[in-house]
Every structure is written in structure tokens, then in C-alpha cells.
Amino acid sequence: MEPLVDFVIEDARWEEFGLEPLADQVVRQALTHLNLPAKGFTLCVMACDDTRIATLNADHRGKPKPTNVLSWPSDERASDSPGMAPDLPTPGEADDPEHLGDIAIAYDTCAREAAEAGKPMAEHVTHLVVHGFLHLLGYDHIDDADAELMESTETAILARMGLSDPY
């Protein structure tokens, strides 16, 4: 199976955790749920720590603090109408896949949030990868209608994977 997700591992704890196979599986499940093929797309996940993500959060969002996940879509795909599904991308060719964007995820924040919620870290990280991936596809939670669509899509994808509603 050809790689769908490229990884930049800046924190070795993510290797020990097994982020690479987990994120690849999550993205494939999300694509299947949205009736998109796994071939013809690519994205990059940066697996980092709180220090690195705080810098990224400050640089890109003006919020100089750690967060769990950040996403940078390669293209604007959001719907013009609140609560409506975004325009999903068209897959590229095998030798020139459509790059969907980049995701950064912070180990420290993810581990802390999972512990505080009393849930396995793998379950929490799965949810965050789904969340970040949907941002790459144009989903958002800026207003209530968009948030409802995004959360229901996340919940449906997680249910496909046997996980409960995180909300």
C-alpha cells in the first residue's frame, strides 16, 4: 500500500506511540467515509511537542500557547453557505497526488488532555487526527452550523472505527 501520509517526527515519543500507522489508518477511514479514494491524495503530519506547537500557534494564529492540533489546508475548500459540506477535492494522478495540506500535533497536550478526560491516548489522538484532517478538507467550526456539520462528520468517522462520540 503506497503511503498517503508523510511524517515529520520531531518528538520521538510519537514514534514509540505509533502515530504513523494510526494516522494513516485514520485518514484512510475518513476518506472512505467521505466517498473519496485513498489514492491520489497526500498530506503531511508533523509530530511535535508543546514548545514547537506553541511557536506555530503564535506565528500562524497569534496565540502564543500550546494547542493539541493545527491544520494548514493547501487550498480553500469551505462552503460558502454555513452548515453545508465543503467542496471536496479531486484526487490527483498516482505520480502527482493532490496535496491536501499539513497537520501539526503536540504530544504533551494530547497526553494531558487524554489523561484529564480519562480516555486512552490512542482514542484521543484518533479524534484529533480526524479533526485536523477535516480542516484540510474545508470543514470548520467557526459558526454553529459549521460546527454541527464538522462534529457530526467526526462522530460518524470515529463510529466507523468503533470509537464513541467525543462530544
Q: Which of 128, 99, 119, 107 is nearest to 30 (CA)?
A: 128
3-state helix, strand, coil in the chain (%, to 5): 45, 15, 35
Which amino acid belongs to residue 114? A
Structural domain boundaries, residue 57: 5-160
Please state the φ and ψ torsions of residue 158, each to the nearest 5 degrees: -65, -40
- Does residue 167 belong to any structural domain of this protein? no
Is 124 annotated in a binding site? The answer is: no
Decide if 165 is inside a domain: no
Query: How far is residue 119's CA from residue 140's CA, in Å, rounded to a whole number?
Result: 24
Question: Has 141 been labeled as part of a binding site?
Answer: yes
167 residues of the chain, pLDDT tens digit each = 566 899 999 999 999 999 999 999 999 999 999 999 989 999 999 999 999 999 999 999 999 999 999 999 999 999 999 999 999 999 999 889 999 999 999 999 999 999 999 999 999 999 999 999 999 999 999 899 999 999 999 999 999 999 988 88
Q: Does 45 map to a domain? A: yes
What CA–CA distance (Å, rounded) separates 103 from 112? Answer: 19
Domain count, the chain: 1
Under 8 Å between Cβ of 29 and 157: yes
Task: Look up the pTM and report it.
Answer: 0.95
Q: What is the DSSP letter of 68?
A: S
The SS3 call for residue 48 is strand
Q: Are 97 and 43 in contact (CB under 8 A)?
A: no
Q: Is residue 129 included in any domain, yes or no? A: yes
Q: For residue 152, what is the domain's CATH number?
A: 3.40.390.30
8-state DSSP, 70: E
Phi/psi at 25 (5° precision): -65, -45
Judge contact between 40 and 52, C-beta under 8 A: no
166 lies in a domain?
no
Query: Is 135 labelled a binding residue?
Result: yes
Q: Which residue has the cell 462522530?
A: 155
